[in-house]
Chains A and B, each alone.
Chain A
């Protein structure tokens, strides 16, 4: 019997396949298409303390085997999320991970506190609550002129330390592929008490409209995701998994059971599916079964047997 259930940062998962932030809303859009308990968990759209309208202009552009997005963290704010989205999000018998963003240190901390309090209150009354926070440090730092927190180690450290203090929930830190020194960043997060790491977020990229002689995106750069980034993500997951002893969640272009096994062999404990949800709206319905079938074919009894073997 092959089993693929696993544990991530103390949270039991029915399988290692999670839906990635920003590609899955709060779950509801996909719940009409298949039962979300087929996924190990769902990660919410990136949330900030205050609501954000997101970016103006083009938000999405297709590239060879990828897409670029400049959504700009459009979200209803944490309070509205707690009131209007969380009850439904926790109703699917799958782990609930909240992706937390912010423009300032204070916004991150207050957001984390609010999520933690609300979650504790729900748990205390026997209801399902937030299982984990995924800290998105790829947000632009308003004070530092918009450079993402996740680029420089010192700036990232401030956020991770403060959010770790603000929450007792299991904490994943989601790393940016733009980090100056990724391995150093990963070790720093571990030292600051992160329970796990997830990577990669989108890769900063650019597209130009030659007829308009303008960048396609109002903000010049946008984030690249999808199959095109998978080899880069795999290399980064491999590097990070060898640098820390906390679990690593692999993200980046994953589009098949084969891809999932590659990431596990590179050292990941779990994976997230992002852009592939757009390619196949029912991806989460079948991937876990496909993974089991592939393991059967490959003679793999447990993911533990192959994790990090490369």
Chain B
């Protein structure tokens, strides 16, 4: 069990949870979080948002029971973290863009801290949140409220693009990046049971074969993703 340092409300339904401890996580990896006993049954997968030498942060949106329980945590409370799990974003090559839509900005801060030359694009349907850290980490941060952030990105200007956000955003970025030289990687979500590759529940069909989002992903090359499989959710 780990100790909660703070759990700050950044915007309606959006929280940043910081937990004590030193964790060897890489950009794009996630933890299984749990601050309750046996109900709800499943722990909740949340991406690593930020790391310091002695703390780890998560940025999350209250979606249902589990994230509501997380949002009630206060400094000094205990939480169980298992991880880090999953494949990180690969090491970037050349000019890099980081694209986050809504709560999908969560995994991008750790990436921005690691790739100081990256251009950052943050898109929100409403008011922006969580932008400060990005301004610390990068000199090139584009923030957009409303509309679509994909309109602000010219994939041809980058060699590597990492994206996380609504399926429609990632898919339209993938279409836009098609034919450009940019390699696009996306972080995707599926309901997870174990988080460690044992239960075959978070399966994604990529290029005809089954992949596990928890251990083969959550980061996948965009060209491998079967978007229909995600729209069905």
Contact = CB atoms under 8 A, between A and B. Distances in A.
A, B bound: yes
Interface of A: 22-25, 28-30, 32-33, 45, 53-54, 56-62, 64-67, 69, 71, 74, 226-227, 255, 275, 277-279, 281
Contact of B198 (A29, A56, A62, A65): A29
Contact of A278 (B193, B197, B205, B233): B193
B153 interface: no
Contacts of B41: 62, 65-67, 226-227, 275, 278-279
Interface stretch (B32-40, B137-145, B154-162): B32-40
Q: Is the interface of A mostly helix, strand, loop or mixed?
A: loop
Interface in B22-43: 32, 38-43
B49 to A, nearest CB: 22
Interface in B42-87: 42-43, 82
18 contacts: A23-B193, A24-B198, A29-B196, A29-B197, A33-B196, A54-B203, A56-B205, A56-B229, A59-B202, A60-B192, A60-B199, A62-B40, A69-B199, A74-B210, A275-B41, A278-B41, A278-B193, A281-B194
Nearest to B199: A23
B210 A54 contact: yes
Contacts of A66: 41
B42 A62 contact: yes
B198 to A, nearest CB: 4
Contacts of A277: 194, 198
Contact of B38 (A54, A56, A227): A227
B116 interface: no
B201 interface: yes
Nearest to A63: B41
Contact of A65 (B38, B196, B201, B202): B38
A59 B201 contact: yes
A281 B32 CA distance: 10
